[in-house]
Chain A
Amino acid sequence: MFEFVKCFYTVVGALFVIYLLGYSTFLIASVIAGSLDLYKESKKRRYHNEISHDYYVPVSIVVPAYNEEVTVVDTVKSLLMMDYRLYEIVVVDDGSKDATTQVLLDAFHLKKVMRPINRQIKCRKEQNVYEAVVNGINITLVQKINGGKADALNMGINASRYPYFICMDADSVLQKDSLKYIVRPVLEDDTIVAVGGLVRISNCAVLSEGELVDYHMPWNPIVGMQILEYDRSFMASRILMDKFNGNLIISGAFGLFKKDMVASVGGYDASTMGEDMELVVKLHAFCRINKIPYGIRYIPDAICWSQCPSSIGDLKKQRRRWFLGLFQCLNKHRRMFLAPEFGVVGYISYLYYLLYELLSPFIELFGLLTIVLAYMVNLINVPFMIMFFLIYALYGAVLTITAFFARIYTQNIRLSVLDVVKAVYLCIAESVFFRFIQAFTRMTAFFGYKKKKNVWGQIKRQKIQLHQTSEEKGKMGDAK
């Protein structure tokens, strides 16, 4: 019996080593690829390797909103300041219970119109359509029956006029030059069907005229740890996956899509919680099955500032949604798993998300159970285990701080010494504590799954910190 247990532990130990080394290798490859890419991009900018074109790929910005009366007006105001020639704003109020529509009507003097909606994609019915032109920019507000975020986005696509659309959250702010950057890949390559931008956390940033004027690492550790987590994800792994056209996620907070291609795949899937990921995976599948040349790109220069949860409760709600979305998406597209027709998307991207994102909480739980069992039968070296955990945590912290500094030097961000100290401390805290919160949230995500699977994931909203010059205030006054 003892021999069997020993044999079992040898196999389990070997599998865990392979699993951990696989993950560590992916992380180090991501950070190195990310750093090299950011260095290359910085050199490109210095030596005029940019398309300095008078951009006008017309773009519709779709803003789905549900109970967003606190932030939606600021969001639309910030969108009116974009440094871009031709775009429109389409806000979709998905049956809000608060005064989302009313605050927009008051702020921008929208007029009710009898606009017939071009229903290319299935979505729930519109109740009212309002329009206005502010500073030459068309604003459309569609008030519709509640159907969830995906349904609201589908309505926004139907109501949009231009061949490309941007999806964003109603609590987010686009940096002034972000449209210019996000359409660049489309100009560089006609086959691009989607482009993801960099999402940064706005809780600790102050923006003026759509530009960052003040940025500090926050005191709230929940926010601070998410900043570092976003840096590691957006400045490392997405850059690596971009190298082989393998990104499966474009954040719902900021992404550009080719409308006819999205319509061809049926738009956002209203039955999943991770509609943003599902759309990207669907685009990969559609293009690969039909042998359509395509590209899905990620551009770290196109920046969107988004609020993150600042309490454990809100964070758990958000992560639960993300995890269930991931599950639904991977389950729906399970035929991609190691399938030759999907190439690297099936072999690397899908495999990565399956093993290291979806199954990780269960593998970690299994690991914990085997440790307890090994301890009981005296098959574990406790000092070694603690040392290994510490090495792994330190490795995670060093990786995160590397990604953090990669962003600092490439985006010319100035930080105080205190910010750097906070960043280092938070990197360690993130590596030691944050992963347990994540793991716990993921493990418990399926509780109440059926009941809550299609509801908007609301977190507590704060007013966006926008500094406005007197000139801008005047401009906004025109709209009133």
Chain B
Amino acid sequence: MHILSIKPEVILYVYMASCVAVLVFNVLYIFIDKYRGRRLEHQSLEMVDEITGQIQQMEAGVDVREEYFTGLIRRLKKLEKLRAFELSMEEIRRQMPAGRTEKYLEQMRRVFLELVPVYEKRDEIEQAYFASLVEKFGIDKGHTAYDGLMDFMIRMVVHKGVFVRENALRALYMIGNKEAVLAAWEKMEDNEICHSKKLLSDGLLKFTGDRGELARLLFEHRSRFDTRLVLPVMQFIRFLGEDFRKEFLELLSKETVDKEIRLEAVRYFRKYPYEPVRALLQRFLQYHEYLDWEYAAVAAQALESYPGPDTVDCLKEGLKAVNWYVRLNSAETLIMGLKIPKKDLFDVYNGRDRYAREILNYVTEKIEIKGQEMELRETDV
């Protein structure tokens, strides 16, 4: 007698059929992928000849025919053809000096403009790919006026896909229009986009226009942005130069300013010493017990740019901190940064604070280990 009133085996058959379908898909994909690879190679080789011919015509002073662009736009609407175009341009760039392809790529701007409405409707992978090509081939580089292409890139920076956002931002950095970057920042703020701070700050360094002007523009609009968008701008400025010392001091002095922003300002003053900051940094270390330990730890590092007996005394205070990082940073600044000789640290080595002694000894040992490695490397050379 059958104890089950429904037939589970039927459901298992259905599931098994689904599994077999996935399996067939996987196996077919392996073969299709191989075939597609060969076809792509063939297509891109054909395009190499075609594009080389166009470049030669342009060099000979013959204008590119309208039909060529129309045909190219029609073909590049297909993703695979766009990939073939990318591969063929890569090949041509390998074969020719950089200057020879520039004029052709300038002409490609109109093709990419026509492709904007097509790729805007595609999935996120294809949108991100389109943006990556705009960056890779310098399409729109140096353009000051907004048009369909730049607008599309700005719209993409609020996409939920991180790759779409990142590729669009990279394209904007490559174009080099500071107003467009500001517009992208504003759009991210309005849409509460959380893009990686590190990607944003490192990305800004790729800006092809005037970086100083971009930094000034973004910094002036900082009040409009949340900390997550201000920090990358400050990190970008840290790599640029010392022109923002007054502004950063103002931020550092205000206790109401976000902690992350103030810490970033301390890092800036480590790289670009500014005498009015000296007392403030020392205070962070002297009153470390009443402060968030991170201020003291970062200030201990920054003080390497402010040598003097007052700084040494202050760092010796830091050696007694409860927090391990404050002690380590103070010790490293004293021994590695300020290169204070052992005799001047006599009071600590012979003092009652075991933790302070231990951390100084450890930093000394670390230097010895690094020295040994350097010696080994030199011997090897």
Contact = CB atoms under 8 A, between A and B. Distances in A.
Interface string B19-60: 110110111011001000000000000000000000000000
23 contacts: A9-B3, A20-B8, A21-B8, A21-B11, A35-B26, A47-B132, A49-B124, A54-B202, A57-B198, A111-B368, A111-B369, A116-B324, A116-B358, A133-B369, A134-B373, A187-B196, A380-B1, A381-B1, A388-B8, A398-B16, A398-B23, A402-B23, A405-B26
A131 B369 contact: yes
B199 interface: yes
A189 B9 contact: no
Interface in B159-183: 161-163, 166-167
B18 A32 contact: yes
B134 to A, nearest CB: 11
B13 interface: yes
Interface of A: 9-10, 13-14, 17, 20-21, 24-25, 27-28, 31-32, 35, 39-40, 43-44, 46-51, 53-54, 57, 109, 111, 113-116, 118, 131-134, 136, 187-191, 374, 378-381, 384, 387-388, 391-392, 394-395, 398-399, 401-402, 405-406, 408-409, 478
Majority SS of interface residues in chain A? helix
A395 B16 contact: yes
A406 B21 CA distance: 12
Contact of A115 (B8, B129, B166, B362): B362
A136 B139 CA distance: 40
Majority SS of interface residues in chain B? helix
B4 interface: yes
Contacts of A136: 373
Interface of B: 1-6, 8-9, 11-13, 15-16, 18-20, 22-23, 25-27, 29-30, 33, 79, 83, 124-126, 128-129, 132, 161-163, 166-167, 194, 196-199, 202, 228, 324-325, 328, 355, 358-359, 361-362, 365-366, 368-370, 372-373, 376-377, 380
Contacts of A116: 324, 355, 358-359, 362
Given A118-B324, A188-B162, A406 B4 contact: no
A433 B359 CA distance: 58
Contacts of A405: 23, 26-27, 30
B83 A46 contact: yes
A193 to B, nearest CB: 15
A123 B196 CA distance: 34
Contact of A113 (B6, B23, B362): B362
A135 to B, nearest CB: 8
Given A10-B5, A111-B368, A28 B15 contact: yes
Nearest to B354: A116
Contacts, number: 162
Given A21-B8, A48-B167, A114-B365, 15 more contacts: A32-B18, A35-B25, A47-B132, A48-B128, A48-B132, A51-B199, A53-B199, A57-B198, A111-B365, A111-B372, A118-B328, A133-B369, A395-B16, A402-B20, A405-B27
A35 B129 CA distance: 22
A116 B126 CA distance: 52
A17 B266 CA distance: 65
Contact of A189 (B162, B202, B373): B162
A392 B163 CA distance: 41
A28 B18 CA distance: 8
Given A28-B18, A387-B9, A391-B13, A113 B3 contact: no
A380 to B, nearest CB: 7
Nearest to B7: A17
B198 A187 contact: yes
A133 B8 contact: no
Given A10-B5, A395-B15, A401-B23, A409 B83 contact: no
A405 B21 CA distance: 12
A169 to B, nearest CB: 27
Contacts of B325: 118
A474 B369 CA distance: 21
A57 B166 CA distance: 18
Contact of A51 (B163, B369, B380): B163
Given A402-B22, A402-B26, A395 B369 contact: no
A140 to B, nearest CB: 10
Contacts of B29: 39, 409
